[in-house]
Amino acid sequence: MKIQLKIPRQIYQRIMADIASPHPFAYERIGFCRVRIGDRGASTQFIFVTDYWPVPDDQYIPDDFAGARINNQAIRSALQASLSSGDGIFHVHMHDHSGVPDFGSMDLEEIPRIVESLTFANADVPHGMLVLSHDMATAHAVMPGGELQIVDRISVVGQPTLVISDQPLFSGGERFNRQSFLGPLAPQRINSLRVGIIGLSGGGSHIAQQLSHAGFADFVFFDGQSIDIYNLNRLVGATEQDVARGLLKIAIADRVVTGVNSACKTLPVAARWQEHPEALRSCDIVFGCVDGFDERRQLEAACRRYLIPLIDVGMDVVQIAGQPPRLFGQVILSLPGHPCLHCIGFLNDRTLTAEAQRYGDAGPNPQVVWPTGVLTSTAVGIAVDLATGWTKTAPGLIYKCYDGNIGELTDHSRYEHVKHKVCHHYKLQDAGDPN
């Protein structure tokens, strides 16, 4: 069994700000994270950090031989927090250096005792210990019914989304020299993330191709359909021979990305994403290239529950009598802890109820290659920024609308009014498996 730990950036920043601050006499600061489990029983299990609180100054014990020592009151507070909330608890502290931190000999003597006490108090949830450096982390966890083991992967979810556990170094060689403005660690950061693409008929094919050129090399493709003749007007990489063979769209995407980079790892799923939730949950970023509003609602709910940034891409054509067809689309970044598709009004009761009557006014699933290219290129740019943080803007919400009749891509008119909304539809503390 493998274990992955995910920390929302908002909480990670709170942790770093607290444990990096000086204490009146202790050399280090200590805090506790509340965590929840995801994908219980799967081959890879997820632990999601949902909250953090610091140990108050008066609950430290002076000790010249330890970086920090806390009293029984601090430990009892952690035990009570687990019993009251039903969540797991992680002990957190920091080592003042860069690079991968290791637990010291005293850490390994003292902290597992606290973890053991937490496990005795509430054995049905994960507990553990997390040590941070300035830029990396190491964690040990006890899963329900298990023993203390090393967490395989630790990531920070947000802008940027980073893997902060020990990872094999990846430089990319000379291939990405023209992308050096993204930062010296950009090739490694891009290469470390797994991307899921839902739907490969049009937009998804553009996204797969562009991401592989940018250096992403770990993909999960979801699409159960074979290519047909009417896909050739928009499906990048498809050929007439593919149509004659009835090739699966995910097979075409696989061929495209491995043709760009032979080292790409792909997981083609010839089915709906709902039928393979474990594959979806393994992704660090998901692109939604789906048709309906209800499908978007389901996908966003799944991504929010498992702390996955979702980039939604869509276009439509509406025919109004006596007027030229109206071509429009959107690109939306839905980031855990920030406004969701409901918050911004893109999803609402009216659209969900009326989509069957509205969608496809200009024909069944109208799509053409040029507006899809504009929208997907924008979406890929968002993903590159999520991986590298090169723009240093971290807007939290991105809501772009596209007017294909005049070729204009702008912030949606509602963006300024909704960008700072607090999301009450998907709260961070509700991440993971339902109770």
**426, part of any domain:** yes
Q: Which domain holds residue 98?
A: 2-157
**78, part of any domain:** yes
pLDDT of residue 365: 59
- Indicate the Cα dihedral angle 366, 367, 371, 376, nearest 10°: 130
363 band by pLDDT with thresholds 50, 70 and 90: very low
- Reported as a single tens digit per residue, the pLDDT across 264-307 is 999 999 999 999 999 999 999 999 999 889 999 999 999 999 99
The mean pLDDT value for 306-328 works out to: 91
Distances 60 to 28, 71, 110, 222 between C-alpha atoms, Å: 10, 6, 14, 51
Q: Is the pLDDT of residue 211 over 90?
A: yes
Q: Is the pLDDT of residue 102 over 60?
A: yes
pLDDT of residue 1: 85
Q: Which of 2-6, 112-116, 171-175, 421-425 has the lowest mean pLDDT?
A: 171-175
H/E element holding 353?
Answer: helix 349-358
The mean pLDDT value for 248-266 works out to: 97
Please say whether the beta carbons of 161 and 155 come within 8 A.
yes
- Reported as a single tens digit per residue, the pLDDT across 320-335 is 888 898 899 999 999 9
Q: Tell me, yes or no, whether 266 and 401 share the same domain.
A: yes
Q: Tell me, yes or no, whether 28 and 109 share the same domain.
A: yes
Which two structure tokens, joined as six digits, stand for 289? Answer: 């290239």
354 band by pLDDT with thresholds 50, 70 and 90: low
CA distance 221 to 249: 9
How does the average pLDDT of the chain come out, rounded? 93
Q: Tell me, yes or no, whether 101 and 190 share the same domain.
A: no
Q: Which of 93, 124, 157 is the last residue of a domain?
A: 157
In 3D space, the residue among 366, 380, 377, 374 whose CA is nearest the CA of residue 408 turns out to be 374
In 3D space, the residue among 86, 93, 88 whose CA is nearest the CA of residue 70 turns out to be 93
Please say whether the beta carbons of 302 and 434 come within 8 A.
no
Which two structure tokens, joined as six digits, stand for 393? Answer: 């803007």
Q: Which of 64-73, 151-160, 168-177, 394-403 has the lowest mean pLDDT?
A: 168-177
Q: Helix H segments across 86-160?
A: 105-121
pLDDT of residue 171: 75
pLDDT of residue 362: 40
How many domains does the chain contain in total? 2
pLDDT of residue 358: 54
Q: What is the CATH number of the domain that holds 95?
A: 3.40.140
**80, part of any domain:** yes
Q: Tell me, yes or no, whether 391 and 337 share the same domain.
A: yes
The residue with tokens 């979702």 is 310
Q: Could you tell me the sign of the dihedral formed by the alpha carbons of 412, 415, 418, 422, in that order? A: positive
Greater confidence (86 vs 358) lies with 86
- Reported as a single tens digit per residue, the pLDDT across 153-177 is 999 999 999 999 987 778 777 899 9
Please say whether the beta carbons of 91 and 130 come within 8 A.
yes
pLDDT of residue 60: 95
Burial of 131 (0-12, 13-18, 19+ CB in 10 A): buried
Q: Tell me, yes or no, whether 192 and 55 share the same domain.
A: no
DSSP assignment of 84-101: HH--EEEEEEE-SSSS--
Q: Tell me, yes or no, whether 315 and 425 share the same domain.
A: yes
Greater confidence (225 vs 318) lies with 225
pLDDT of residue 364: 54
Q: Is the pLDDT of residue 41 over 80?
A: no
In 3D space, the residue among 141, 185, 196 whose CA is nearest the CA of residue 163 turns out to be 185
Q: Is the pLDDT of residue 359 over 60?
A: no
Q: Tell me, yes or no, whether 77 and 187 share the same domain.
A: no
CA 141 to chain centroid, in Å, comes to: 21
The residue with tokens 């943080």 is 389
Please say whether the beta carbons of 333 and 157 come within 8 A.
no
Q: Which residues pair with 282 in a beta bridge?
A: none
Q: Tell me, yes or no, whether 144 and 194 share the same domain.
A: no
Q: Looking at 164-301, which runs of residues are DSSP E strands?
A: 195-198, 218-222, 265-269, 285-288
**16, part of any domain:** yes
Which two structure tokens, joined as six digits, stand for 433? Answer: 């498996």
**166, part of any domain:** no
Query: What is the pTM assigned to this prediction?
Result: 0.95
Please say whether the beta carbons of 169 and 189 come within 8 A.
no
pLDDT of residue 239: 96
pLDDT of residue 31: 97
In 3D space, the residue among 429, 434, 435 whose CA is nearest the CA of residue 35 turns out to be 429
Q: Is the pLDDT of residue 360 over 60?
A: no
CA distance 342 to 396: 15
User: Strand order in 88-94's β-sheet?
Assistant: 149-150, 137-142, 127-132, 88-94, 30-38, 44-54, 2-8, 153-157, 162-163
Q: Tell me, yes or no, whether 36 and 139 share the same domain.
A: yes
The mean pLDDT value for 55-67 works out to: 91
Q: Tell me, yes or no, whether 320 and 423 share the same domain.
A: yes
Q: What is the CATH number of the domain that holds 348?
A: 3.40.50.720
The mean pLDDT value for 368-378 works out to: 94
The mean pLDDT value for 406-421 works out to: 96
Q: Which of 125, 157, 189 is the last residue of a domain?
A: 157
Q: Tell me, yes or no, whether 150 and 194 share the same domain.
A: no
Q: Tell me, yes or no, whether 148 and 187 share the same domain.
A: no
Q: Is the pLDDT of residue 55 over 90?
A: yes
Neighbours of 370 (CB within 10 A): 10
**216, part of any domain:** yes
Greater confidence (150 vs 357) lies with 150
pLDDT of residue 319: 82
pLDDT of residue 67: 84
Q: Which of 129, 157, 185 is the last residue of a domain?
A: 157
CA distance 122 to 79: 8
